[in-house]
Amino acid sequence: MEFSEHLDELMICRLDSTKKEVEPCTVVIFGASGDLTARKLIPAFFHLFQDKVAPDPIRIIGVARREKDHESWREELWEACCRFSRTQPVERQDWEKFAQNIFYCQGDYGSDFATFERLKSMVGEAEDERLRNNILFYLATKPSQFLDVTAHLDESGLLLRDPDPPFWRRVVVEKPIGHDLASASALNQGLTKHAHEKQIYRIDHYLGKETVQNILMFRFSNSVFEQLWNRQAIDHVQITVSEDMGVGGRGGYYEEAGALRDMVQNHLLQVLALVAMEPPVSLEAESIRDEKVKALRSIRPLSLAPIETQVVRGQYVGGKVHGEKRIAYRDEDRVAEDSNVETYVGMKLYIDNWRWSNAPFYLRTGKNMKAKCSEVRIQFRSTPNVLFAAQCGTKLDNNALTLRLQPNEGISLRFNGKIPGSTMQIRPVRMDFRYDSEFGAYTPEAYERLLLEAMAGDATLFIRGDEVEAAWSIVDSIREGWSDQPLTEREFYKAGSWGPDAADDLTARQGHNWREPEGGK
């Protein structure tokens, strides 16, 4: 066998070793009467069941305070699935087959230990030993209840602190993981008293999006782009996650969180880590997460320069989005009339490592903006101004690569081309790849992929404790820099715009400007 063939065989084995199969298991959902269960979790399990990729057999046990029996809960979930399923209409006969696996356990999981004894008894009733022993605990509860529920699971013997037993127990925790570095560290320490870090799956639904996962595939499987993925070729990177809706009924929550905690600490910094990370030594979960943490820890401390030169905030005032009138944030329900909470954040970050030294990363997110979109724009360096610049002027644009995460998911490459004719005229043109035209319209819901990976024991798409803390350390330094200062006139923006004037100042200092996203709607 040739050496190159042997090497290829070894690499294939290395890649295949990461694939994990799902085993029959019981899924216990705490907070079973909540919105997350109805809108996301049960429809996701139903789709997995329909597609024949769910564990076989599987049991789903919901735990909540409200008094109801198995049948009444199943009927509630049927109505929810009819509203929120991605496949419409939902066939009743398909649902009935799935619903046979759903059960309800009533009780107060926050303070009543007897609830966990009833749950333990219900788990033990399963005839299949694998259903009794392989258990996924999903904490769709308030963050303040994470530690109490985990402690009770440990005390009752339902959760065994062992990462590699003959069977498995895992805990899925929803965001937010704390509200600052201190609280996140305390929560992580509390959770690991009752479960090993390898048993804890911190979920960020953004990482379950097919297009977000494709960032790694695109980067490391295409040599033509990987060779350009550095400061020598790239001038700067822009990451945009904009929303065309206001806070709506979440005014009370937003008064506590703001856009910085709600979006930057998790979604935007996770995307940045995937874009900026070094190649992992393998596709194993820990190898990938190691590199993500390294990227986050390489971000230049924001305390090294005045905060206003690195981060801007904004708050929307009245305006129109898609022709629809929108009220100001301060006029929303449960929002203080003099609130200084940010609904927009724009920031400039530097990653101090060999690959990215002095290449700025611009991040922005906001509510009530001109369009709903998520994308990563890689702006390449300009060519020397010796041939076309004098003749073409501003029509000679820098090359750019855009990864559209949502909507209109796809990838486009922008370059300069000659306009047909007798004169040397030039303009930017675009090569475009779209998921829907290449693979069809179907893209799995994020929760489907994440639930499947949690049941399979693959933590690649979940956030490790040190990742959470690295992100919070960045966010905390920003909040300290703002120090409850009131918003200025340049920090307010009209609903339906791309953000405040102060955000343009942020990019202009480096001779850059925000580019309007390609995929917004």
- The rounded distance, in Å, linking the Cα atoms of 416 and 332 is 45
| Residue closest to 103 by CA, chosen among 152, 43, 63 | 63
For 157, 386, 421, 426, the CA distances from 165, given in Å and listed in that order, are 14, 66, 71, 64
Q: What is the CATH number of the domain that holds 481?
A: 3.30.360.10
Helix (H, G, I), strand (E, B) or coil at 428: strand
Last-in-domain residue among 174, 198, 227 = 174
493, containing H or E segment = strand 492-494
| Each residue's pLDDT tens digit, 134-186 | 999 999 998 999 999 999 999 999 998 876 678 999 999 998 899 999 999 99
Q: What pLDDT score was predicted for residue 384? A: 72
Q: What residues form DSSP beta bridges with 361?
A: 237, 349
- The rounded distance, in Å, linking the Cα atoms of 466 and 188 is 9
pTM above 0.85, yes or no: yes
Q: Which domain holds residue 76?
A: 15-174
Are both 460 and 369 inside the same structural domain?
yes
**Is pLDDT of 38 > 80?**
yes
| Each residue's pLDDT tens digit, 112-137 | 889 999 999 999 999 999 999 999 99
Helix (H, G, I), strand (E, B) or coil at 311: strand
For residues 58-70, give the mean pLDDT: 94
* Most distant pair of Cα atoms in the chain: their distance: 85
For 124, 189, 276, 389, the CA distances from 129, given in Å and listed in that order, are 9, 32, 44, 72
Q: What is the CATH number of the domain that holds 47?
A: 3.40.50.720
For residues 328-353, give the mean pLDDT: 96
Q: Between β-strands 373-380 and 400-406, what pairing exists: parallel, antiparallel or unpaired?
A: antiparallel
For residues 289-314, give the mean pLDDT: 92
Are both 265 and 161 inside the same structural domain?
no
Are both 166 and 264 inside the same structural domain?
no
- The rounded distance, in Å, linking the Cα atoms of 33 and 55 is 23
Q: What pLDDT score was predicted for residue 209? A: 86
Distance of CA 74 to the CA centre of its chain: 29
Residue 135, φ and ψ in degrees, nearest 5: -135, 130
Are both 155 and 245 inside the same structural domain?
no
- From the candidates 47, 194, 205, 267, which is the catalytic residue? 267
For 48, 170, 230, the CA distances from 198, given in Å and listed in that order, are 24, 8, 33
**Is pLDDT of 11 > 50?**
no
| Each residue's pLDDT tens digit, 184-211 | 999 999 999 999 999 999 999 889 888 8
Instruction: Give, as one character, the DSSP assignment of residue 485.
Output: P
User: Which residues are CB-neighbours of 280 under 8 A, at least 6 positions away?
Assistant: 287, 288, 290, 291
Are both 268 and 316 inside the same structural domain?
yes
Check residue 520 and give left, alpha or beta (phi > 0: left; psi -120 to 50: alpha): beta
Residue 201: inside a domain, yes or no? no
Instruction: Give, as one character, the DSSP assignment of residue 82.
Output: H
Residue carrying the six token digits 């798409």: 461
Confidence of residue 395 (pLDDT cuts 50, 70, 90): low
Are both 295 and 430 inside the same structural domain?
yes
Are both 212 and 143 inside the same structural domain?
no
User: Which residues are CB-neighbours of 127 under 8 A, at least 6 positions away?
Assistant: none
Confidence of residue 392 (pLDDT cuts 50, 70, 90): low
Are both 164 and 255 inside the same structural domain?
no
Check residue 258 and give left, alpha or beta (phi > 0: left; psi -120 to 50: alpha): left
Residue 23: inside a domain, yes or no? yes
Looking at per-residue confidence, does 152 or 428 come out higher? 152
Residue type, 409: E
Residue 517: inside a domain, yes or no? no
Are both 426 and 504 inside the same structural domain?
yes
Looking at per-residue confidence, does 438 or 479 come out higher? 479
Question: What mean pLDDT value characterizes the chain?
Answer: 89
- The rounded distance, in Å, linking the Cα atoms of 276 and 354 is 11
| Each residue's pLDDT tens digit, 483-521 | 778 999 999 999 999 999 999 999 999 999 999 887 666
| Each residue's pLDDT tens digit, 359-391 | 999 999 999 999 999 999 999 998 776 566 656
Please state, for a pLDDT cut of 70, what percent of the chain lies above it.
93
Instruction: Work out how many domains the chain is built from and give that number.
Output: 2
Looking at per-residue confidence, does 21 or 394 come out higher? 21
Q: What pLDDT score was predicted for residue 71? A: 95
- 238-252, 378-392, 475-489: least confident range: 378-392
Residue 289: inside a domain, yes or no? yes
- The rounded distance, in Å, linking the Cα atoms of 505 and 512 is 9
512 is catalytic: no
- The rounded distance, in Å, linking the Cα atoms of 312 and 308 is 6
| Each residue's pLDDT tens digit, 438-454 | 887 656 788 999 999 99
Residue 455: inside a domain, yes or no? yes
**Is pLDDT of 18 > 60?**
no
Confidence of residue 4 (pLDDT cuts 50, 70, 90): very low
Check residue 393 and give left, alpha or beta (phi > 0: left; psi -120 to 50: alpha): left
Helix (H, G, I), strand (E, B) or coil at 460: coil
Residue 409: inside a domain, yes or no? yes
Are both 220 and 142 inside the same structural domain?
no
For residues 259-272, give the mean pLDDT: 94
Contacts of 500-504 spanning 24+ positions with Cβ under 8 A: 500/312, 500/314, 500/344, 502/312, 502/313, 502/314, 502/346, 503/312, 503/314, 503/344, 503/346, 503/364
Q: What pLDDT score was predicted for residue 283? A: 87
Residue 428, φ and ψ in degrees, nearest 5: -70, 140
Confidence of residue 3 (pLDDT cuts 50, 70, 90): very low
Residue 60: inside a domain, yes or no? yes
Confidence of residue 12 (pLDDT cuts 50, 70, 90): very low
Residue 521: inside a domain, yes or no? no
Are both 304 and 409 inside the same structural domain?
yes
Q: Give the CB-side neighbour count of residue 304, counting CA atoms within 13 A.
A: 8
Confidence of residue 348 (pLDDT cuts 50, 70, 90): very high
Are both 213 and 160 inside the same structural domain?
no
For residues 249-272, give the mean pLDDT: 93
For residues 393-409, give the mean pLDDT: 82
